[in-house]
Structure 1
Amino acid sequence: MRITLKIATSLDGRIGTSTGESQWITGPEARLQGHRLRAEHDAVLVGVETVLADDPRLTVRLPDGEQGRDPLRIVLDSKLRTPPFARLSKPGTLILTTRSVIPVGEAEVLRVTGDSNNRPALQAVLDTLVSRGVSSLMIEGGGRVAACFVAAGVVDAIEWFRAPILLGGDGRPGVAALSLARLAHAPRYRRLAAEPLGDDLWERYERV
């Protein structure tokens, strides 16, 4: 499975303010490219904190004349906090949890093995997606989910949309703590391209 991390941040790598406000950091051109990337993947994945903060749809919305299919939407939700009225509590969404299954709207809920923190274990998540025929996955949030996949060394590519604003150290990071003791341990990526999109910058990276 090819895994891509898509992030939209401020210049200093923040996905939201200290209060969690995040819509919209980037402009319409960057958001449109994000929809095109969505259409290229079999599945997109977020953590429940993103669901609670933004109530995203994670569907593909393109201008007239452009074709795109909706990917499978994945939510990592160990305690099943996704509200039954959320936009993702619909058919086409798979919620992965570590607790006993209860209905969440019309979404499919599946219990998977937990890690040491009783969150869905990364390997269990990947195994589940492979069993569903997913060959390309895009991670769309939040920072803790991004850090989990990056730290595991499974992120093959990064699509980074950077807006010309600063949110400061109390803003919410695009990638949460990796607990690195040495620079030599830092995950490394090679930049493939950098392209302006309106006022924003779209940077593309692949794993070294």
Structure 2
Amino acid sequence: MQSDYSYMTRALKLAAQGAGQTSPNPMVGCVIVKDDIILGEGLHERVGGAHAEVNAYRSCGVADTEGATVYVTLEPCTHTGRTPPCVDLLLERRPGRVVIAMEDPNTRVNGIGIARLRDAGIRTDVGICETAARRLNEIYIKHVRSGIPWVTAKCAMTLDGKIATRSGHSKWITGEKAREYTHRLRHSHDVILVGSRTIMVDNPRLTTRLPEGKGRHPIKVILDAGDYLSADRRVFAKDRESPTWIATTAGNRYDFADEIIVLPPGSGGVDLRALLAALAERGIQSVLIEGGGATLASAFSSDIVDKVCFFCAPKIIGGREAITPVEGVGCERMEEAILLDNLHSLQVGKDILMEALVKKRTAHEMESN
């Protein structure tokens, strides 16, 4: 007999298949079980589409689902948006038990769906695999609580902490598997953020290429506070796969971008906190920083980074002049170092991926830096 943990883990894996397709909605998976037999399962596949509970019940066909146990990774919704409330479906189908990984932090739902199920006499248990569920929807959770986009900082470096040689050559630090993982990161974020130096030196397209061929191309946002960009870069090609925006200070003008976001100056160029607010106004929920050392330095200095994804390749470049992942002045004392929580590592091909959450600094700590 399988456990609640096993069925919820299956539901979480289903939910993860919606990565890159559900924003601004959360990723949700659902598994319906009766007498230790899975009758049906489903996920929220794309924004505007049917929710996980609806797809799971549809997949049951003519099976008798009354009295079944429903495993769902997020509290069933109680409001009508693009689709009807999922809690109404559950009340209609009369499961014997509902197991929920986590409450929905959205104030329109939070606790209400659970209360309605319990008021109807349906046993409802909450908190199975909650940590994994929160990690899966970390972008959604931050956005509904703060209204500010989630920020992931990504880089690829050698074992001695270099992102390029002293001449600026960087292709390729990591292997094919790590680069594929990077494309999955792009697929799951709304925006890729880079600096103008990356665009001018590396001339990337910043597209998403997945083995299955269905990658989502995020909006590209380029930081430029010095009229450094030119129209011949590939991100400005007429056949570009997604819009390219430029975030700049008031004195700069470009006619080859899809949108110009004019912002006040800040650390290293553009005020990144003001940029996040501007992106939030445009419906952006998540940002992946793929910029070079200067862009990462500005991001960490502005304390906007929520998560780091750093790849470490089994190579050594050496040299004092080789480029480091985070430039700028850096810390004077170890007490000023940026702290990370929930660090975990994963081997990706021949490279090591290190992921961690960034511990946010207090206002006093920000001022002292």
- Whether the TM-score (by the shorter chain) exceeds 0.5 is yes
CA displacement 1:12-34 (0-9 Å, x = unmatched): 22111111111111110000000
User: Match for 1:71: what amino acid?
Assistant: P
- Kindly state the Cα deviation for residue 77 of structure 1 after the two structures are TM-superposed: 1.0
More helix by share: 2
| Matches of 2:258 and 2:169, distance apart in 1 | 26
- Kindly state the Cα deviation for residue 178 of structure 1 after the two structures are TM-superposed: 4.4
| Matches of 1:160 and 1:124, distance apart in 2 | 25
Does the residue aligned with 1:32 lie in a helix, a strand or coil? helix
- State percent identity of aligned pairs: 35
Which residue of structure 2 aligns with residue 21 of structure 1?
A: 169
- Kindly state the Cα deviation for residue 160 of structure 1 after the two structures are TM-superposed: 0.8
What TM-score does the superposition give when structure 1 sets the normalisation length? Answer: 0.91
> Retained in 2: the 8 A contact 1:16–1:22?
yes
> Match for 1:97 among 248, 267, 273?
248
More strand by share: 1
- Change over 3 Å in CA distance of 1:201–1:186 after alignment to 2: same
- Change over 3 Å in CA distance of 1:138–1:116 after alignment to 2: closer
CA displacement 1:175-206 (0-9 Å, x = unmatched): 11343222111110024321111211111111
Does the residue aligned with 1:14 lie in a helix, a strand or coil? coil
Question: Is 1:81 the equivalent of 2:228?
Answer: yes
Question: Is 1:161 the equivalent of 2:332?
Answer: no
- Kindly state the Cα deviation for residue 136 of structure 1 after the two structures are TM-superposed: 0.8
User: Match for 1:87: what amino acid?
Assistant: R
- Kindly state the Cα deviation for residue 127 of structure 1 after the two structures are TM-superposed: 1.7
CA displacement 1:84-120 (0-9 Å, x = unmatched): 111111451101122231313x543332212376x21
Which residue of structure 2 aligns with residue 69 of structure 1?
A: 216
What TM-score does the superposition give when structure 2 sets the normalisation length? Answer: 0.53
Does the residue aligned with 1:50 lie in a helix, a strand or coil? helix
Which ranges in structure 2 are unaligned for 5 or more consecutive residues?
1-148, 360-369
| Matches of 1:51 and 1:139, distance apart in 2 | 13
> Match for 1:151 among 280, 293, 301?
301
Question: Is 1:59 the equivalent of 2:210?
Answer: no
> Retained in 2: the 8 A contact 1:151–1:178?
no
User: Match for 2:181: what amino acid?
Assistant: Q
Which residue of structure 2 aligns with residue 179 of structure 1?
A: 330
CA RMSD of aligned residues (A): 1.7
> Retained in 2: the 8 A contact 1:151–1:187?
no
My pick for the range that moved more, 77-86 or 129-138, is: 77-86
> Retained in 2: the 8 A contact 1:101–1:110?
no
Compare CA radii of gyration and give the structure with the larger one.
2
Question: Is 1:133 the equivalent of 2:283?
Answer: yes
Which residue of structure 1 aligns with residue 185 of structure 2?
A: 37
> How many residue pairs get matched?
205
